[in-house]
Amino acid sequence: MKLVNIILEREDQVGYVSSEPKVVNKTTGQVQWDITPTPLKAVIDLLDDALESLEKGIEDNPEDEKLKQYEEAFGKLKKSLKTHITRNYDK
């Protein structure tokens, strides 16, 4: 069994969904397929972007203790959600 087929076997993966591979160049064996992020991967990416923006806001306002509390709480929420998704929906 080819590695591509093993990867495509799982449909409930967090991350990306792939189309069936298409041979682009028969001489070299080059294959091509479409990659689409799953909704849960999109959520994780949005959380990463939001936390990064919050960290930049703290850099601009280092005296704001409330922002630091939000960053800590948000970081815990993101870690908890990623752990849940990984344990229940694979990587």
Contact between 41 and 35 (Cβ < 8 Å):
no
- Of 10, 7, 12, the closest CA to residue 33 belongs to 7
Write out the residue range of the structural domain in which residue 56 sits. Answer: 3-89
Q: Which tokens go with 11?
A: 């449909």
pLDDT under 70: residue ranges of the chain:
1-18, 37, 90-91
Number of domains composing the chain: 1
SS3 34: coil
- Of 48, 46, 38, the closest CA to residue 15 belongs to 38
pTM of the model: 0.55
